[in-house]
């Protein structure tokens, strides 16, 4: 069976680490690209020790270099990073556009309510 490559964004966060663990426990042969803003962080270093996991440093707002370096990404698990108003939309759109451009077959977007006002003015 062919090993499929799954890109997990913000890989050192709790939700994403749980996703990685679930994929590694599954019976399907997945190769995990664990995207982080800082590949030298302790959390990233711990992830890099896991079999079938490659830690990748990159940006959600400029994902093209990731797809250029790692051909054949089958699936993406996107969880945007909060920032300035509209920043998460920029991140999401950039990753969606690049995923479409590169023929990604499966795309999962996960978001959470981070509290605070629901309408920004």
pLDDT at 119: 57
pLDDT over 90 at 116, yes or no:
no
Mean pLDDT of 6-14: 88
Phi and psi at 101, nearest 5°, equal -55, -35
pLDDT surpassing 90 at residue 110: no
Architecture of domain 8-109: 3-Layer(aba) Sandwich (3.40)
Counts of helices then strands in the chain (DSSP H, E): 4, 5
**Domain residue limits, the chain:** 8-109
pLDDT of residue 87: 85
Interval 44-52 mean pLDDT: 92
What is the pLDDT, as a whole number, of residue 62?
A: 95
pTM assigned to the model: 0.86
Contacts of 87 (CB under 8 A, 6+ apart): 80, 81
- pLDDT at position 111 is 74
| Mean pLDDT over each residue of the chain, to the nearest integer | 88
pLDDT confidence of residue 66:
96
């Amino acid at each position: 069976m062919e090993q499929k490559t799954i890109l997990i964004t913000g890989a050192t966060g709790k939700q994403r680490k749980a996703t990685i663990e679930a994929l590694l426990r599954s019976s399907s042969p997945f190769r995990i690209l664990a995207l982080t803003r800082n590949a030298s962080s302790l959390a990233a270093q711990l992830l890099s020790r896991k079999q079938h996991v490659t830690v990748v440093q990159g940006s959600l707002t400029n994902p093209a270099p990731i797809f250029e370096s790692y051909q054949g990404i089958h699936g993406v698990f996107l969880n945007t990073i909060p920032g300035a108003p509209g920043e998460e939309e920029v991140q999401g759109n950039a990753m969606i556009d690049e995923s479409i451009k590169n023929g990604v077959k499966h795309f999962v977007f996960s978001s959470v309510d981070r509290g605070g006002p629901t309408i920004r003015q």
